Amino acid sequence: MRGEAILLTCEHASAQVPIEYRAYFSRAERALAGHRGYDFGAKEVARALAGQLRVPLVCGRVSRLLVDLNRSETNPAVFSRYLRELDREKRQQLLERFHRPHRQQVRAEIEQLLRTSKRVLHIGVHSFTPVLGGARRNADLGLLYDPGRPAERRLAQDWAAHLSACTPPLRIRRNYPYKGTSDGLTTQLRREYPARAYLGLELEINAGLLSPRRRGAREPRARMSPVRLARSIAASLRELV
């Protein structure tokens, strides 16, 4: 027992684009509906997990192609190439309307949890596409963390061990398919909160594990419903905190 309070977020939960911005995406319907538009299955897993663990969840409300909630405002990648023509003022409006409120809500949840717990374990729930640029990704779940924070490193190690023991066995990799220290919400929050108050991990789910069509799966592998996957994750987290 470590006693952390868990907070879940799902930055790429939605593929929505408000009507006033739809014209920019008139030729991007496929991109919006695919992994570039949102994280397939991540919201369903995050919701099930929040319900099973009875912990708060903050979900993004718009597509990452409109404004990417997991990029800093100053990162050019916060806006996608579809918004190349959008002027500075309208970009500011997008930040004010969607980006800042999401981050403010996450901070408010952290502050709330810190009133009754010494430390918050923030888990950003994401999914990744099974095949990218012809390369097949060889993990079911990735755990992203900052190796420079010993408490995060230990937690990721222990969590991976608990998850590996699930049935059916899941292939777990750490800091894969991305680095936990890349620009993102957890990276930003680590700058704002010390490790004694905040641990920021990201859970990356291989979308092929959740897809009814077994997206990109060559060999038959176990497929899990979001609720079932959430149950395994919840069990592993109960062992952990």
Closest CB to Zn ion among 39 and 109?
A: 39
Radius of gyration of the chain (CA): 18
Other CB atoms within a 10 A radius of the CB of residue 33 amount to 13
Name every residue whose Cβ is closer than 8 Å to that of residue 78 and which is 6 or more positions away in sequence. Answer: 67, 68, 71, 72, 95, 99
- Contact yes or no for 83/24 (Cβ under 8 A): yes
**Where does this chain touch Zn ion (CB under 5 A) — which range of 6-14, 20-28, 55-63, 135-143?**
6-14
Q: Rounded distance, CA 125 to CA 6, Å?
A: 12
Distances (CA, A) of 146 to 85, 156, 217, 239: 36, 10, 30, 21
Residue 57 region, left (φ>0) first, then alpha (ψ -120 to 50), else beta? beta
Kindly state whether residue 202 participates in binding Zn ion, applying the rule CB under 5 A: no
**Where does this chain touch Zn ion (CB under 5 A) — which range of 36-44, 72-80, 131-139, 227-235?**
36-44
Beta bridge partners of 141: 172, 205
Kindly state whether residue 12 participates in binding Zn ion, applying the rule CB under 5 A: yes
**Where does this chain touch Zn ion (CB under 5 A) — which range of 83-91, 96-104, 121-129, 161-169?**
121-129
Smallest distance, Zn ion to C-beta of residue 178, A: 9
Q: Rounded distance, CA 111 to CA 229, Å?
A: 29
Candidates 4, 39, 140, 152: give the one binding Zn ion (CB under 5 A): 39
**Where does this chain touch Zn ion (CB under 5 A) — which range of 10-18, 45-53, 180-188, 220-228?**
10-18
Candidates 119, 122, 126, 174: give the one binding Zn ion (CB under 5 A): 126
Smallest distance, Zn ion to C-beta of residue 202, A: 8
Closest CB to Zn ion among 94 and 207?
A: 207
Smallest distance, Zn ion to C-beta of residue 11, A: 6
Applying the rule CB under 5 A, the residues between 47 and 106 that interact with Zn ion are none
Beta bridge partners of 199: 121
The residues binding Zn ion (CB under 5 A) are 12, 39, 126
